[in-house]
Structure 1
Amino acid sequence: MGRHREFDVEKALDAALCVFWRKGYEGASYADLVEAAGVERPALYSAFGNKEALFRRVLDLYYERYLDYIPEALQLPTAREVAAHILYSAADLNTRYPDHTGCLGIHGVLAGSDEAEPVRQALIDARAAGEAQLRERFERARADGDLPEMARPDALAAFVMAVLHGMAVQAKAGFTRDRLEAVAEQALSTWPKGSSTLSGKSS
């Protein structure tokens, strides 16, 4: 009979996540992943399949463990609070770990080879889904009077995502948390105000 895998799958996923977060999808070799997981290559293949399959598992873990602040934000009373919670939480996450700064969901694959295209597209789709959630939340805010009637929920959602993505790139380049929070504060200073009491409380 074959031997059972003698390593902790969750620990191996954690190790792979850190490698992908630090080096990106194409920058992380399978040798890097094997070394970080502390297992033999056949065992890693047996548990997760190829590199793309492993990255997709890691990405699911990343979204679940580190981006939980996004669904939390969507439940807040005002659109401005939603945006603020997302931006300040991102400033924290992007700088929390000195050896893997930035956001895996953004710089995992910004541009890459043809072989990496399915992964790049998966990240694009995930970001688009997040933007759609924001747009829907801001549409409700406009209907409630929390945003002015002239506000464009689609543009506001794209604006928040653009700031979010830029902060991740800046963090990867060495920006501190304080500086990223200043960027967030500047972005929020232009936030449109509606006529409802909720909007008044958020300002």
Structure 2
Amino acid sequence: MGRTRTFDVNEALEAALGVFWRKGYEGASYADLVVATGVERPALYSAFGNKETLFLRALERYASNYANYVPAAIERSTARDVAEGVLFGAVELSTRFSDRTGCLGVNGALAGSDEAEQARAALIAWRADGEAALRRRFERARSEGDLPANSDCATLAAYVLAVAHGIAVQAKAGFAVDTLMAVARQALEGWPRSGNTLVAEQRL
């Protein structure tokens, strides 16, 4: 009979996520993960496989439990509200924990060795999926008249995420919440508005 697992897998995964969030993929050693989870290396390997597999599991958990503000924002009623939800959400999450500021998706693997390539590729794909979802939402807004007919929705999506990622980098560098919120608001100042949007606002 196999050994009975004596630790909570979800708690261990949450602890590992915190390490990757703080240190990035390459900065996190397996020794760090053992200390953070309180689980010996053989048991961690048995539950999650190698460090790369553990990171991918942690990224899935981060997407569903922390970065879920992005799909929530996409459900908002106007394109500007969507952008606001993403940017304000980025500020909130990037500053929520004093011991792990910034964003796992940005901290994780901006650059790395060949050994980290799969983790880096997974993060690139994850960010690309978010950008594609935003682009589709803005395309819908354009077709509904919420954005001007000449709006470049791909550029708008890239712009929103570029600002959100910049906010995460600044949070990691210690910028204050008020400063980051001011950055988010400034980014929304020039948001394109269609005639339909202006009429709707005038009726409020």
Does TM, scored on the shorter chain, surpass 0.5?
yes
In 1, the alpha carbon distance for the partners of 2:198 and 2:123 equals 34
Q: Does residue 1:18 correspond to 2:12, yes or no?
A: no
In 2, the alpha carbon distance for the partners of 1:132 and 1:198 equals 27
Partner residue in 2 for 1:62? 62
In structure 2, runs of 5+ residues without a counterpart are none
TM-score (norm. length: structure 1): 0.96
- Cα deviation, 1:115-134, whole Å, max 9, x if unaligned, reads 00111011001111110111
Indicate the RMSD between aligned Cα atoms, in angstroms.
Answer: 1.5
Question: Is the contact made by 1:77 and 1:198 (CA closer than 8 Å) also made in structure 2?
Answer: no
Partner residue in 2 for 1:107? 107
Q: Secondary structure of 2:195's partner?
A: coil
Q: How many residues align?
A: 203
- Cα deviation, 1:39-71, whole Å, max 9, x if unaligned, reads 111000000000000000000000000011111
| Aligned residue type for 1:33 | L
In 2, the alpha carbon distance for the partners of 1:190 and 1:198 equals 14
In structure 1, runs of 5+ residues without a counterpart are none
Q: Secondary structure of 1:76's partner?
A: coil
- Cα deviation, 1:166-187, whole Å, max 9, x if unaligned, reads 1111111001211111000000
Runs ≥4 in structure 1, deviation > 6 angstroms?
A: none
In 1, the alpha carbon distance for the partners of 2:130 and 2:21 equals 19
TM-aligned CA deviation for residue 149 of structure 1: 1.2
Partner residue in 2 for 1:86? 86
Question: Is the contact made by 2:94 and 2:103 (CA closer than 8 Å) also made in structure 1?
Answer: yes
Question: Is the contact made by 2:87 and 2:184 (CA closer than 8 Å) also made in structure 1?
Answer: yes
